[in-house]
Amino acid sequence: MTSPAFFEDFVVGSSYEFGEYHVSREEILQFAAMYDPQPFHLSDEEGKKTLFGGLCASGWHTCSMAMRMIVDNMPKENTGTLGSPGIDELRWIKPVLPGDILRMKTTILDKIESRSRPGMGSIFMLNEMFNRKDELVMSNKPIVMCRKRN
Amino acid sequence: MTSPAFFEDFVVGSSYEFGEYHVSREEILQFAAMYDPQPFHLSDEEGKKTLFGGLCASGWHTCSMAMRMIVDNMPKENTGTLGSPGIDELRWIKPVLPGDILRMKTTILDKIESRSRPGMGSIFMLNEMFNRKDELVMSNKPIVMCRKRN
């Protein structure tokens, strides 16, 4: 399901699933070389020496892949989304590996109208990322600022 | 100061500053095109219509730039760092803009020896990222797994 467009459209307690992200070895290595050049993100050999058991994606790469699925699932013409002031309880639960296919589930936990800016409010979400074996690999709780319909 | 290498070396209450990251317009656009193609991360025009006031870096890009500074500040030969299970209270406080020069400050909040794995423990940190005007632009609280010296 495409994510809701405006503050009024987010239903607390509802959830929606979306996305399909194919994780390649090349992309893991490319991201790591640029932003997180730790040995276990750059080489199988070094990954095998760690708790991860092999080459795995940077946690920030994992979050970035989640974001890409989230943006691709936003309504194309009209979205009230205004960005995020932050994220709570980001957890990297299982390593993201070359060849993984990832998908997302978003649950709307709460929403609050802004007192200072009457045209907008905050949406509190739970984002969960799963791999092909339906294992939860990452979760986080973003706060998203969102415009009202009018 | 280079970050400590092993569990024993982290001193609760201590802090250290490091890093210098030059943020280019090209890199903001490149990251956004790949992972966060929202209008305010892709165009000045669209950024001006938002609370950010202009083109700004994706929050995940900001975190990734912080990670690069963190990795570059790790001891080169010996590091006990084993990755992170997660992050609490990630906050994007001010937009990161083209031309910004960013730096980091890490404070050691707490550390706890592992009960199940006697050779390691968890370090609780506060990471803060500042721009050239010494404005706090991002903060988060990572949990980092770390090996003991022997």
Q: Which stretches of chain A sit within 8 Å of chain B by CB?
A: 31, 34-38, 40, 50-52, 58-61, 63-65, 67-68, 71, 74, 81-93, 145
Closest CA to B31 of B76, B7, B64: B64
Q: Is the pLDDT of residue B139 over 90?
A: yes
By C-alpha distance, the chain B residue nearest A84 is: B92
Residue given tokens 């500040």 in the structure block: B73
Q: What is the domain-level CATH number for residue A74?
A: 3.10.129.10
- Decide if A2 is inside a domain: no
Instruction: Read off the pLDDT band of B1 (50, 70, 90).
Output: confident
Query: Which residues of chain A lie closer than 8 angstroms to B84, CB-CB?
Result: 59, 92
Q: What is the DSSP letter of B75?
A: -
Residue B134 lies in a domain: yes
- Give Dmax over CA atoms of chain A in angstroms: 56
Number of separate domains in chain B: 1
Instruction: Identify the band that residue B72 occupies on the pLDDT scale cut at 50, 70 and 90.
Output: very high
Gap from A38 CA to chain B (nearest CA, Å): 7
State the DSSP H helix or E strand holding residue B40, giving kind and residue range, or none if neither. none
pLDDT of residue B130: 98
Q: How confident is the model at residue B76 (pLDDT cuts 50, 70, 90)?
A: confident
Distances from the Cα of B93 to the Cαs of A24, A125, B138, in angstroms?
Answer: 32, 19, 5
Q: With 80 as the cut, is the pLDDT of residue B104 above it?
A: yes
Lowest mean pLDDT among A100-104, A130-134, B104-108, B114-118: B114-118
Residue B78, pLDDT > 80, answer: no
Position B25 in a domain: yes
Stretches where chain A sits below pLDDT 50 are none
When pLDDT is cut at 50, 70 and 90, the band that residue B36 belongs to is very high
ipTM: 0.95
**What pLDDT does residue B32 have?**
98
B39: phi then psi, degrees, rounded to nearest 5? -55, -40
For the residues B21-45, what does the mean pLDDT come to? 96
Return the higher-pLDDT residue of B134 and A76. B134
The tokens for A100 are 């993984």
Mean of per-residue pLDDT scores for chain B: 95
Name the residue facing A59 among B31, B40, B84 (closest C-beta): B84
Confidence category of residue B51, pLDDT binned at 50, 70, 90? confident
Predicted confidence at residue B31, as pLDDT, reads: 98
Checking phi first, is residue B86 left (phi over 0); if not, alpha (psi -120 to 50) or beta? left
Element (H, E) at B132: none
Full domain range(s) for residue A109: 7-147
